[in-house]
Structure 1
Amino acid sequence: MESNALGAYLSKLRRLRLVERDIPVTANPNATRKSRYRLKEPLFRFWFRYVYGQTGEIAQLGDDAYEQLIEPSFTDYMGPMFELVCQNALPSLIPKTYRQIGYWWHQHHELDVVGLASDGTLVAGECKYTTRAMHEGDLTDLERSASQVEWTPPEGAERTYHYCCFCRSGFSDGLQNAADKRDDVSLFTPDDIVSA
């Protein structure tokens, strides 16, 4: 389908709250052309990822359908939802007055969680819903991406950074040690998020 014909369809799907538009958290929603659209409802995401077009295969696999069709890619499916949960928990985990919280991306850099605080703090987070623990390299990548965010703090405040690592499987000893020595790094597991 031609991209210029998509506008009307996307507009209707957004009015029905089936699809949502993501833009970088620093972008002006009325001026940016950087947009990603995704299914808003997790049930629909699951249906179109694992059921739609595969009912015959699901029926043939029977009790093995989950193990064969869903389990191999389920952590990838859960990743975007984990990011959204982390964004929603951010004000409780790092208490500040946020002007905006969301995603950010530009060229080869992407941040799963960005909070733009009134005090001039840019809170940048990386989310990993994987079976491996996060390590110091993940923090280095997070710092590198956060340095690329173009944002001017409000009312002449000085820009500062706070880095958050959110991981389902915990953290390496090296990353834990680095976080213990720094005031600008926080590590959060799903238990921390649920508690918040």
Structure 2
Amino acid sequence: MDGFVDREVELSRLRDCYDSDVAALAVIYGRRRLGKTQLVRHWLSERDDAVVYPEEPFLDIGRWWYQEHEVDVVGFTDAGTMVVGECKFTNAPLDYSALASLEDHAAEIRWTPLGGGDPDIEYALFARSGATRSVREAVAERGDLQLFGLEDVTENA
């Protein structure tokens, strides 16, 4: 027994939402310290096909801007990782300038992990129409960069 008790209704709803043939959003809310994060972790531990990015849970997710700098998606984890993302849902492939711009903007984000020090930064590119060869090569060479296509987003919605 893992100390997880009496949450079958909530787990069933999460399973139904995930297994649905239509895109769905599960909103989990409640007062602090009621086990919302533990509920999701428990449900994810049952799944072989769930995609979690990154492996650590996010403390906060949103968008960020300051003066001329803007980042479409920013997530902070309790392990000290900052994930920054650029979303390009155009008909043209995402090119290397989008990655370079994301790196420049990410350098302006001021965040210190809970344990102090500098954050580990990971980059996520979301592209409707794929990416240019230079971006695909960068993804293949770098461990801090991932590319997501429209299929990746819709398959895991």
| TM-score bucket (shorter structure) | 0.5 to 0.7
CA distance in 2, matches of 1:119, 1:166: 23
Corresponding residue of 1:165: 125
SS at match of 2:52: helix
What's the counterpart of residue 72 of structure 2? Answer: 112
Q: Alpha-carbon deviations, 1:156-175, whole Å to 9, x = none?
A: 25411000100100000110
Asked whether 1:184 is paired with 2:123, we answer: no
> Which runs of 5 or more residues in structure 2 are unaligned?
1-50
Identical-residue share of aligned pairs (%): 36
Larger Cα-atom Rg: 1
Task: Give 3-state SS (helix, strand or coil) of 1:154's partner.
Answer: coil
Q: Does 1:102 align with 2:101?
A: no
- Under a length normalisation based on structure 1, what TM-score does the superposition of the two structures give? 0.52
After superposing the two structures, state which structure 1 stretch, 157-166 or 102-111, moved more. 157-166
Match for residue 193 of structure 1?
A: 153
Shift of 1:97: 1.4
> What root-mean-square deviation, in Å, do the aligned CA atoms of Structure 1 and Structure 2 show?
1.3
Greater per-residue helix proportion: 1
- Separation in structure 2 between the aligned mates of residue 92 and residue 109 of structure 1, nearest angstrom: 27
Q: Please give the alpha-carbon distance, in whole angstroms, between the structure 1 residues aligned to 2:52 and 2:63.
A: 18
Contact 1:93–1:193, Cα closer than 8 Å, also in 2: no
TM-score, normalised to structure 2's length? 0.64
Task: Determine the C-alpha separation between the residues in 1 that align with 2:109 and 2:144.
Answer: 17
The one-letter amino acid paired with 1:152 is T
Measure, in 1, the Cα distance between the counterparts of 2:104 and 2:118.
Answer: 19
Flag structure 1 segments of 5+ consecutive residues without an equivalent.
1-90
**Aligned residue identity for 1:145:** H
Corresponding position of 1:128: 88
In structure 2, C-alpha distance between the alignment counterparts of 1:158 and 1:104, rounded to whole Å:
18
CA distance in 2, matches of 1:128, 1:115: 18
Distance 1:177 1:188 in 2: 14
Q: Which has the higher contact order (CA 8 A, sep 6+)?
A: 2
Aligned length: 106
Following superposition of structure 1 onto structure 2, how do residues 13-162 of structure 1 map, counting pairs within 5 Å? 92-156=52-116, 158-162=118-122
Query: What's the secondary structure of 1:141's corresponding residue?
Result: helix
| Alpha-carbon separation, structure 2, partners of 1:96 and 1:135 | 29
1:116–1:123 Cα contact (<8 Å) kept: yes
